[in-house]
Amino acid sequence: MRSIKGWVMLASIAAALSPISVNASDFYKDKIVTAILGAGPGGGYDLYARTVMKHLVNHIPGKPQFIMQFMPGAGGQKAAQYFYNVASKDGTKVAKLSNMLPAFQVLRSGVKYDVRELNYIGRAASMQYVTMVWHTTGVKSLEDAQKAKQPIIFGSSGKSQSNYIVPAVMANLLGLNVKVIAGYTGTAAINKALEQGEVTGRAGAWSSWISRAGRLIKEKKVVAIAQSGLEKATDIKNGYGEQTPLLLDLAKNDDERAILRLLAADAAIGRNFSTPPGTSSSRIKLLCRAFDATMKDKAFLEEAKKRKLIVEPKTCEWLQETATAIVNTPAPLVQKAKALLGWK
Amino acid sequence: MLKTITKFASSCLILGFVIASGMSNSAANELELVVGTGGTSSAAFSAGNGMSIASVIHGKGIKIYNYGTKGDKDNIKRLTKKKRAINLAIVSAKGLAKANDKQKKGMSGLIALGKAKGDTILLIVRNKAPKGVSKDKYSLAISEVVRVLKDTKAGEVIKNEWRDWSVSSGESAFKAAGVKRHKAAL
């Protein structure tokens, strides 16, 4: 009798410790998981999402199939609002939403979502921003930029874009001699303006620099002087071959650090995946662990390598904590950040 | 830094393949097709969801992905543009009639999906096979799309998403719009 009790206890403990319950396995069998994207097909969002989803479903018990649903518009707000308010909460909907959502939630008015209620399942990679200046300025480092007598003129596509936010921070918080010309139609137009001498600087995602202006870097027409994000990428060098500094490290006090964290958080949120608010905790946990397993999966890593996708994973817990911290930035600091950017 | 540049440059080449096609091979023989639909509250979007789910359950070697666009005009533009084109689009008969001659040459009519707001809802297809996909393979994939959409069981799946689903040839609507029909058309 004692031995039967022992076995029952052992079985109960094993079941409790098992990350995958039988019910969860039953749930996903023959199900289809929809991956909602806040962008159109063909870009980096799509490539990351399809690659991750292809392998993620293999780590979900019951091995469901997946489909993609593209929902671009309003800088990712359309997909976010749909996902937050309409998408079913049974664990069959996963989204790869804009990395700007947490910052937008506190800096913009009228958003119809709360990222603290989204359930992040993991991050595949960060999205580091790099500030580049045109070679004829003679500026080869951030120190040079701080001493420059001529202003560095940055091209921007709009006040809500990182190509505006980063130079605005450099000018208004760090005191660099910088001017921003907004209104360019996009990255290609700013790059053209750089080559034509209309502007002398651009801040953009490192991946975007490489994909759309790799020639300018190779020919040393542009020089990296700073990077923006929460973590420093070690392989981005300035004109002297030194590691470029992280703008966050230049904060002079805690308030400045908090503002810089808020404005650079999108880089850290990066290529993130989530489920809608209201999804059961057991399914969130299951999806988080499936995501973690995917990030270590040899087949996934091989495919990512083949497609030259950067993999810098973070767990759902880390992502949730980071996003929540951004949204919980104290109101006076949010006001300062808005004032710094000229936002109302 | 040079190492990273090289890494990203290669990445762009691969990305370029996906961008140029709007369609890709996810598994060995599986073709991913993107259907342009409309706003999230539109009949086209619901129909697109249904088609997407049905393609996974009842399709062989194809997968249809729903792309919530701005509607008819946007769909026609995306279906006929040079790069990052979509493969299929759901449009109203009235919207299709507004396509210009150049656009009409780049597309074919496939099937009528039902009615919404008194107008016939049509499915059109891009004529040009995506980069890296042979004409034959693309043609077979389109035939498979039509087969799935005609399937009664697939129809039941789609009806769960859009109750007005009712397939027909749409021959007169395509003729009225001046759009020739695809050889795989119903």
Nearest-CA distance A275 → chain B (Å): 18
A319 in Cβ contact with A269 (< 8 Å): yes
> Which of B3, B26, B40 would best serve as a mutation to test chain A binding (most A beta carbons within 10 A)?
B40
Q: Are strands A222-228 and A129-134 parallel, antiparallel or unpaired?
A: antiparallel
Per-residue pLDDT for A302 more than 70?
Answer: yes
CB of B26 within 8 Å of a chain A CB? The answer is yes
> Given an 8 Å threshold on Cβ–Cβ distance, is A211 in contact with B8?
yes
Per-residue pLDDT for B67 more than 70?
Answer: yes
Per-residue pLDDT for B120 more than 90?
Answer: yes
Chain B residues in contact with A82 by the CB 8 A cut-off are 40
The mean predicted confidence, pLDDT, of chain B is 88
Per-residue pLDDT for A334 more than 60?
Answer: yes
CB of B15 within 8 Å of a chain A CB? The answer is yes
> Given an 8 Å threshold on Cβ–Cβ distance, is B68 in contact with A67?
no
Residue with tokens 């209201």: A278
> Given an 8 Å threshold on Cβ–Cβ distance, is B14 in contact with A42?
no
CB of A309 within 8 Å of a chain B CB? The answer is yes
ipTM score for this prediction: 0.82
Cβ–Cβ pairs < 8 A, chains A and B: 102
3 state SS for A242-267: CECCEHHHHCCCHHHHHHHHHHHHHH
Chain B residues in contact with A32 by the CB 8 A cut-off are 53, 56-57
pLDDT digits (tens, 9 = 90+) for A24-36: 668 999 999 999 9
Comparing alpha-carbon positions, the chain B residue that sits nearest to A304 is B11
pLDDT score for A159:
82
CB of A67 within 8 Å of a chain B CB? The answer is yes
What are the backbone dihedrals phi and psi of residue A297, each rounded to the nearest 5 degrees, phi first? -65, 125
pLDDT digits (tens, 9 = 90+) for A28-74: 999 999 999 998 887 778 889 999 999 999 999 999 999 999 998 88
CB of B7 within 8 Å of a chain A CB? The answer is yes
**CA-CA-CA-CA torsion sign (B154, B157, B161, B167):** positive
> Given an 8 Å threshold on Cβ–Cβ distance, is B8 in contact with A68?
no
Task: Kindly indicate the confidence band of residue A176, based on its pLDDT and cuts at 50, 70 and 90.
Answer: very high
Per-residue pLDDT for B76 more than 60?
Answer: yes
pLDDT score for B165:
97
> Given an 8 Å threshold on Cβ–Cβ distance, is B57 in contact with A237?
no
Cβ neighbour number for residue A162 with a 10 Å cutoff: 23
CB of A32 within 8 Å of a chain B CB? The answer is yes
> Given an 8 Å threshold on Cβ–Cβ distance, is B65 in contact with A67?
yes
Task: Please tell me which of the candidates B8, B22, B40 has its beta carbon nearest to residue A41.
Answer: B22
pLDDT score for B20:
40
pLDDT score for A246:
95
CB of B160 within 8 Å of a chain A CB? The answer is no
Task: Kindly indicate the confidence band of residue B10, based on its pLDDT and cuts at 50, 70 and 90.
Answer: very low
pLDDT score for B17:
37
> Given an 8 Å threshold on Cβ–Cβ distance, is A235 in contact with B67?
no
Burial (CB count within 10 angstroms: exposed 0-12, middle 13-18, buried 19+), residue B96: buried
pLDDT, mean of residues A340-344: 84
pLDDT, mean of residues B54-78: 96
Higher pLDDT pick, A305 / B158: B158
pLDDT score for A213:
83
> Which of A210, A232, A236, A306 would best serve as a mutation to test chain B binding (most B beta carbons within 10 A)?
A210
Question: What does the angle CA A232 – CA A235 – CA A237 come to, to the nearest 5 degrees?
Answer: 95
pLDDT score for A19:
44
Per-residue pLDDT for A253 more than 70?
Answer: yes
pLDDT digits (tens, 9 = 90+) for A7-20: 545 544 444 444 44
Rounded-to-integer distance, Cα B126 and Cα B138, Å: 10
End-to-end, the C-alpha distance of chain A in Å comes to 73
Q: Is A315 helix (H, G, I), strand (E, B) or coil?
A: strand
Higher pLDDT pick, B26 / B67: B67
> Given an 8 Å threshold on Cβ–Cβ distance, is A69 in contact with B65?
yes
What are the tokens at A131? 């500030």
What are the tokens at A306? 């083949």
CB of A148 within 8 Å of a chain B CB? The answer is no
Per-residue pLDDT for A237 more than 60?
Answer: yes
The mean predicted confidence, pLDDT, of chain A is 89
pLDDT, mean of residues B161-170: 96
pLDDT digits (tens, 9 = 90+) for A89-141: 999 999 999 998 999 999 988 889 999 999 999 999 988 899 999 999 999 99
